[in-house]
Amino acid sequence: MKLGVALPLSDIGGDPATVRLFAQAAEAAGYDHLGAPDHVLGVNAASRPGWGARNTSADLFHDPFVLFGFLSGCTTRVGFSTEVLILAQRQTVLVAKQAASLDVLSGGRFRLGIGIGWNEVEFVGLNEDFHNRGRRSEEQVQVMRALWAEPHVKFEGKWHHIDDAGINPMPIRGRIPIWFGGHHDLTLRRIAKWGDGWMMNAYPAGAAAEADFAKLRAYAEQAGRDPASIGVEVWVSIGAGDEANWREEFKFWKSAGVTHVTLNATFQRSHHRRIASRSLQAHLTAIDRYRDAVADLL
């Protein structure tokens, strides 16, 4: 199993020295990857009194390609994973180019997690269609895979037209792993057909998660794929419980066939509980405690 940690930018801020320190500490502690979310626009909550607890302009999100490009020069081993990039609000060919450049500059350490998003305000601001984002994302994956594999591409789709052109640089291995976030049945079917893995954060350890894992495996078999070729990532929290609880949860995920576990110490939804403090030192202590608790189970 691979163990990662989400960069807690909402707590520690985005100052380059702080971000570098956290990334290097996570790498030194033995973490396999760093995760970062993605939002381009945040709404002004003052003009939307019913907005609720969703992301606003007060929440810090570095552009993940810029962030990971910076951190790839500050680290040597740890991987990078978008968790998740809202693909359908971006130009597909540009994402393919950015991802390939990051892959090359980081020495092949990048994993592209994608999702379809929920914030229509961002899609409108970025001049993309919010209402066909799921269907369009399937074609986006096909376009990116083609651009990563071949120096020149001819593609005629519903939303994309490429006339014998290509990107340079191309990824080191001719592909970049694509993982999907989301929990709709259509998402599981897309993963079964196109994905290298599923990023799941909706369910705690238990029967509901196992049922969806089984559903994904069945869909993969229907698509003619080996279910074992599709990874599964879950998020874990340490805002509640102790080392013994964390170990039991980790053992469950391992027995369920999970391949990647990502510690997210700021997430506060569903069953997840964030840590009480927002300080850098509290987050550094948290990653050390969790890694020490489960190290022998990896």
- Give me the CATH number covering residue 50: 3.20.20.30
User: Angle, nearest 10°, between helix axes 64-72 and 16-29?
Assistant: 60
Closest by Cα among 180, 95, 101, 105 to 145: 95
Q: How many CA atoms lie within 13 A of 43 on its CB side?
A: 18
Residue 8 has what pLDDT?
A: 98
Burial class (CB in 10 A: 0-12, 13-18, 19+), 175: middle
Contact 35, 78 (CB under 8 A): no
* Spatial distance between the Cα atoms of 92 and 74, rounded to a whole number of angstroms: 28
How high is the pLDDT of residue 53? 86
Check the CA dihedral 263-269-270-271 and report its sign. Answer: positive
pLDDT number for residue 126:
98
For 125, the domain range is 2-297
Give the Å distances, CA to CA, from 97 to 21, 134, 210, 259: 28, 21, 36, 28
Angle in degrees, 0-180, between the axes of helices 207-222 and 185-194, rounded to the nearest 10: 50
Tens of pLDDT along the chain (298 residues)?
A: 999 999 999 999 999 999 999 999 999 999 999 999 999 999 999 999 999 989 999 999 999 999 999 999 999 999 999 999 999 999 999 999 999 999 999 999 999 999 999 999 999 999 999 999 999 999 999 999 999 999 999 999 999 999 999 999 999 999 999 999 999 999 999 999 999 999 999 999 999 999 999 999 999 999 999 999 999 999 999 999 999 999 999 999 999 999 999 999 999 999 999 999 999 999 999 999 999 999 999 9
Closest by CA to 100, choosing from 58, 68, 132, is: 68
HEC assignment per residue over the chain: CEEEEECCHHHHCCCHHHHHHHHHHHHHHCCCEEEECCCCCCCCHHHCCCCCCCCCCCCCCCCHHHHHHHHHCCCCCCEEEECCEEHHHCCHHHHHHHHHHHHHHCCCCEEEEEECCCCHHHHHHCCCCCCCHHHHHHHHHHHHHHHHHCCCEEEECCCCEEEEECCCCCCCCCCCCEEEECCCHHHHHHHHHHCCEEEECCCCCCHHHHHHHHHHHHHHHHCCCCHHHCEEEEEECCCCCCHHHHHHHHHHHHHCCCCEEEECCCCCCCCCCCCCCCCHHHHHHHHHHHHHHHHHHC
pTM exceeding the 0.95 threshold for the entire prediction: yes
Q: Name the domain count of the chain.
A: 1
